[in-house]
């Protein structure tokens, strides 16, 4: 009977490890998965799709940097705004209109309008926010507001 007990314990541990791994994957991916809604008649072919816009949000002493992987877009395809402690990035990925014949066997890219919302960990200076787009990565720099800046206190 001890062998069955040991086997049962091993199976439970394996199951717990697998469940923990799936939970970790879900936590990492759930905010990156973004809904794309058709922006034009040509995009209707693909219908509503889900796509991945992976992002990193990093806080430094001076501010917050957000980087979003968004290949295939141009800098004019984005609308960015900050409201309070929330960053919103909207955009549109246009479907290619070059293909006139044939049919798709695999289509994993999403086209249309999308929106990602990021809760910011600190209050930022909205007026000094800047953005750049290079090599498929949108980078947004959000300087800390004066209230959020660390205050240095001198000792008398």
List all residues 6 or more positions away from 2 whose beta carbon is below 8 Å from its beta carbon: none
**Whole-number Å distance between alpha carbons of 24 and 16:** 12
Architecture, CATH, for domain 33-143: Sandwich (2.60)
pLDDT in tens, 37-65: 876 665 555 556 777 788 999 999 899 99
Nearest to 40 by CA among 116, 114, 108, 113: 113
User: In the numeric block, which tokens belong to residue 37?
Assistant: 């809604």
CA–CA distance from 56 to each of 41, 59, 100 (Å)? 33, 10, 37
pLDDT in tens, 125-137: 999 999 999 999 9
Q: pTM (2 decimals)?
A: 0.69
């Amino acid at each position: 009977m001890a062998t069955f007990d040991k086997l049962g314990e091993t199976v439970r541990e394996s199951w717990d490890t697998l469940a923990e791994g799936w939970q970790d994957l879900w936590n990492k991916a759930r905010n990156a998965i973004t809904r794309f809604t058709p922006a034009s008649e040509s995009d209707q072919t693909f219908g509503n799709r889900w796509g991945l816009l992976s992002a990193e949000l990093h806080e430094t002493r001076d501010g917050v940097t957000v980087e979003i992987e968004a290949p295939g877009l141009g800098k004019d395809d984005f609308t960015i705004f900050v409201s309070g402690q929330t960053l919103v990035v909207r955009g549109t990925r246009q479907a290619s209109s070059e293909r006139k014949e044939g049919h798709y066997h695999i289509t994993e890219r999403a086209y249309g309008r999308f929106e990602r919302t990021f809760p910011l960990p600190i209050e930022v200076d909205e007026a000094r926010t800047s953005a750049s787009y290079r090599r498929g990565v949108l980078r947004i720099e959000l300087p800390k507001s004066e209230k959020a800046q660390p205050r240095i206190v001198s000792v008398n």
